[in-house]
């Protein structure tokens, strides 16, 4: 059977599965819609959180980034996993104890202020929308590459699928679909990795394969990789840091606290029955994430080595362009891989020097997607990778859309504009908000604003600098008051946005960057994507100072904080 038919069958089968789950798990109440009824088993929730969390960026892009960054790519590995430790200890159990439906709701109650709630809603929407655009783009790209339909059609199909289970089932539908999506994406990621590890090292576990010797030799794979890349003038793979130690530190910190502050991840912990479950569920989520995240560096290193060895089988002996393998031709047609015969010898020279390098384009995203082809795996594996990429993008998009729509229907409509609406009306409103959010995200996916490329990393910076500090101080301090929290959030997100805009352009419009995207202009050499960590420090500092010079919070706040710190009496998220 040809690859295209097979891909249609595999992807089609997964879609039928998602829609079947959607019909089976319709939401009957607002509690079903916002927190899946509050009765999801912690292991199941962990799996759903993992799918929610791992986006198209984790599935498609991350290994490719690491493949070209080497050791410097570790910021993504540590940053996107370490956040769950903070989440499990500093936020999840206490927010679960509080037992409400949304993140802004907690901020509004803890800081006894509608204004704080509105600021939180705005911060939430800014970071969720910037994030969701990237996912919609991922859906369109995956469709157009694997199913050979155009980008727009792919996006429409993706929107219809998400519409179906998110509008119908809300959090309940999303949770059970995400469990299925996790299974699809993890199989799609690990199967090619196992085969490639076997081929290169004879060890079926990629995590061990990366540290093993090359099959049939005494040379360690990583030593060989270091040697191959340095021979061509690239930096050594295992020691090549990203800019500076301080920058790596800030980048990792930014991603970690951004992870803990992203609302679509936090609300997942409202769905478990108990406080204890919120703690263990974060652990399970990280187990399921770690399966992919410890495989990714192996995929990265092995794909880089495979690529280098394909192009230059022996030192000084280059691959002839006419003899290039089939996968090379396939990816050339997408424009993601490009060769230019600069010296006219018909051979492919790949070097670190721009003037003599003939591999003029190798897109990071190719590394994971072309992996099964490079390793000559059967077509069904390639079809599975397509389904996995779509599962990763769809599951994250759905989680983000739920966070956005519940902020609109629950925090803005029910919380402020019309507090007296019935539950039935609110449920309808939340479905309408979800539908609107999908259409809005789809529109942005079709007409991506100029800043789409930088948005995912920005979302983390914004979550790190606004939402995380407000939540953490709300739990660990009784002294921080509404003035402090609001000033802190505004200052944190303001400083981060300002820094990003001054180096990347206002709203990322080219030419408006008043300091230019130049490392020498960077504050202490910290790149804009890593600045969320500094924004968070500003948020904490401003909040503490402002709180010190303004009135103490009322007595009721002390009681609220005492209440959430102890698990006893935590009920399932109650109707209100």
| Contact residues: another protein, CB under 8 A | 66, 71, 73-74, 77-78, 81-82, 84-86, 88-90, 93, 207-208, 210-213, 220-223, 238-239, 241, 245, 248-249, 252-253, 274-276, 279-280, 282-283, 286-287, 290, 293-294, 297, 562, 565-570
- Sequence-distant (6+) residues with CB within 8 A of 165 are 18, 19, 21, 22, 173, 174, 177, 398
- Tokens describing residue 13: 């089968």
CB of 537 to another protein, least distance (A): 15
CB of 473 to another protein, least distance (A): 15
Is there a contact between 360 and 340 (Cβ–Cβ < 8 Å)?
Answer: yes
CB of 68 to another protein, least distance (A): 15
Is there a contact between 256 and 79 (Cβ–Cβ < 8 Å)?
Answer: yes
For another protein, give the closer residue by CB, 52 or 277.
277
CB of 509 to another protein, least distance (A): 34
**How many residues comprise the chain?**
576
Instruction: Please list the residues that pair with 337 across neighbouring strands.
Output: 362
Is there a contact between 67 and 303 (Cβ–Cβ < 8 Å)?
Answer: yes
Is there a contact between 139 and 390 (Cβ–Cβ < 8 Å)?
Answer: yes
CB of 500 to another protein, least distance (A): 23
What is the end-to-end Cα distance of the chain in Å, rounded? Answer: 55
Give the whole-angstrom CA distance, residue 292 versus residue 554.
46
CB pairs under 8 A, 24+ apart, for 114-121?
A: 114/415, 114/416, 115/482, 115/486, 116/470, 116/482, 116/485, 116/486, 116/489, 117/411, 117/415, 117/416, 118/416, 119/486, 119/489, 119/490, 120/411, 120/466, 120/467, 120/470, 120/489, 121/407, 121/411, 121/412
CB of 271 to another protein, least distance (A): 16
CB of 90 to another protein, least distance (A): 8
- Sequence-distant (6+) residues with CB within 8 A of 3 are 379, 382, 383
For another protein, give the closer residue by CB, 17 or 537.
537
Instruction: Please list the residues that pair with 348 across neighbouring strands.
Output: 319
For another protein, give the closer residue by CB, 302 or 383.
302
- Tokens describing residue 23: 């019909």
Give the whole-angstrom CA distance, residue 25 versus residue 172.
6
* Of 79, 304, 299, 69, the residue nearest 207 (C-alpha): 299
For another protein, give the closer residue by CB, 425 or 478.
478
For another protein, give the closer residue by CB, 341 or 559.
559
Is there a contact between 154 and 143 (Cβ–Cβ < 8 Å)?
Answer: yes
Enter the DSSP assignment of 542: H
Instruction: Please list the residues that pair with 317 across neighbouring strands.
Output: 314
- Which residue's entry shows tokens 């389904």? 387
For another protein, give the closer residue by CB, 290 or 453.
290
CB of 97 to another protein, least distance (A): 10
CB of 283 to another protein, least distance (A): 4
For another protein, give the closer residue by CB, 93 or 140.
93
Give the whole-angstrom CA distance, residue 368 versus residue 365.
6
For another protein, give the closer residue by CB, 354 or 568.
568
Distances (CA, A) of 333 to 3, 147, 148, 336, 477: 16, 14, 12, 8, 57
Enter the DSSP assignment of 272: S
- Tokens describing residue 191: 């199967």
CB of 262 to another protein, least distance (A): 17
Is there a contact between 135 and 397 (Cβ–Cβ < 8 Å)?
Answer: yes
For another protein, give the closer residue by CB, 259 or 349.
259
Enter the DSSP assignment of 553: P
For another protein, give the closer residue by CB, 77 or 486.
77
For another protein, give the closer residue by CB, 222 or 452.
222
CB of 201 to another protein, least distance (A): 9
Ramachandran area for residue 347 (φ above 0: left; ψ -120 to 50: alpha; else beta)? beta
CB of 168 to another protein, least distance (A): 32
For another protein, give the closer residue by CB, 448 or 567.
567
For another protein, give the closer residue by CB, 275 or 385.
275
Element (H, E) at 279: helix 275-311
Angle at the Cα of 249 from the Cα atoms of 248 and 252, rounded to 5 degrees = 80
CB of 85 to another protein, least distance (A): 5
* Of 119, 129, 49, the residue nearest 469 (C-alpha): 119
Exposed, middle or buried by CB within 10 Å (0-12, 13-18, 19+), for 354? exposed
CB of 52 to another protein, least distance (A): 17
For another protein, give the closer residue by CB, 84 or 501.
84
């Amino acid at each position: 059977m040809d690859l295209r038919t097979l891909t249609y069958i595999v992807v089609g089968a997964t879609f039928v599965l998602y829609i079947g789950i959607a019909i089976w798990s319709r939401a009957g109440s607002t509690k079903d819609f916002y927190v899946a009824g509050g009765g999801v088993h912690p292991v199941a929730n962990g799996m759903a959180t993992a799918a929610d969390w791992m986006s198209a960026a984790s599935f498609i892009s991350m290994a490719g980034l690491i493949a070209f960054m080497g050791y410097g790519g570790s910021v993504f590995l540590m940053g996107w996993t370490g956040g769950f430790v903070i989440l499990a200890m500093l936020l999840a159990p206490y927010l679960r104890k509080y037992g409400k439906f949304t993140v802004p709701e907690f901020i509004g109650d803890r800081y006894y202020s509608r204004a704080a709630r509105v600021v939180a809603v705005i911060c939430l929407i800014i970071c969720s929308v910037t994030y969701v655009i990237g996912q919609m783009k991922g859906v369109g790209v995956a469709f157009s590459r694997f199913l050979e339909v155009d980008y727009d059609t792919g996006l429409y199909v993706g929107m219809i699928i998400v519409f179906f289970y998110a509008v119908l089932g809300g959090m309940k539908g999303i949770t059970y679909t995400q469990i299925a999506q996790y299974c699809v994406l993890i199989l799609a990621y690990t199967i090619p990795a196992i085969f490639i590890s076997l081929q290169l090292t004879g060890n079926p576990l990629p995590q061990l394969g990366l540290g093993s010797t090359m099959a049939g030799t005494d040379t360690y794979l990583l030593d060989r990789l270091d040697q191959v890349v340095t021979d061509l003038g690239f930096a050594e793979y295992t020691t090549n840091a990203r800019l500076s130690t301080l920058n790596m530190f800030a980048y990792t910190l930014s991603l970690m606290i951004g992870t803990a502050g992203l609302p679509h991840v936090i609300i997942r912990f409202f769905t478990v029955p108990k406080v204890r479950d919120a703690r263990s569920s974060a652990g399970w989520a990280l187990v399921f994430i770690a399966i992919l995240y410890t495989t990714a560096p192996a995929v990265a290193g092995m794909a880089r080595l495979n690529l280098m060895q394909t192009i230059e089988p022996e030192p000084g002996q280059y691959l002839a362009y006419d003899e290039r393998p089939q996968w090379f031709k396939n990816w050339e047609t997408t424009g993601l891989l490009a060769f230019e015969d600069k010296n006219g010898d018909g051979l492919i020279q790949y070097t670190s020097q721009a003037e003599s390098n003939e591999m003029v384009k190798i897109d990071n995203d190719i590394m994971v997607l072309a992996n099964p082809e490079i390793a000559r795996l059967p077509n069904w594996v390639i079809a599975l990778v397509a389904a996995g990429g779509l599962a990763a993008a769809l599951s994250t998009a759905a989680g983000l859309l739920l966070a956005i729509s519940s902020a609109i229907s629950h925090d803005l409509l029910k919380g402020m504009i019309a507090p007296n609406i019935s539950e039935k009306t609110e449920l309808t409103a939340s479905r309408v908000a979800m539908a609107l959010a999908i259409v809005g995200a789809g529109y942005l996916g079709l007409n991506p604003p100029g800043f789409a490329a930088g948005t995912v990393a920005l979302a983390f910076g914004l979550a790190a600098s606004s939402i995380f500090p407000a939540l953490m101080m709300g739990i660990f301090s009784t002294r921080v008051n509404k003035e402090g929290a609001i000033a802190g959030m505004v200052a944190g997100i303001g400083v981060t946005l300002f820094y990003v805009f001054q180096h990347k352009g206002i709203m990322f419009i080219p030419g408006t960057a008043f300091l230019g995207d130049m490392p020498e202009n960077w504050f202490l050499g910290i790149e804009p994507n890593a600045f969320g960590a500094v924004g968070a420090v500003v948020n904490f500092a401003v909040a503490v100072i402002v709180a010190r010079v303004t009135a103490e919070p009322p007595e009721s706040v002390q009681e609220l904080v005492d209440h959430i710190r102890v698990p006893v009496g935590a009920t399932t998220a109650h109707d209100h």
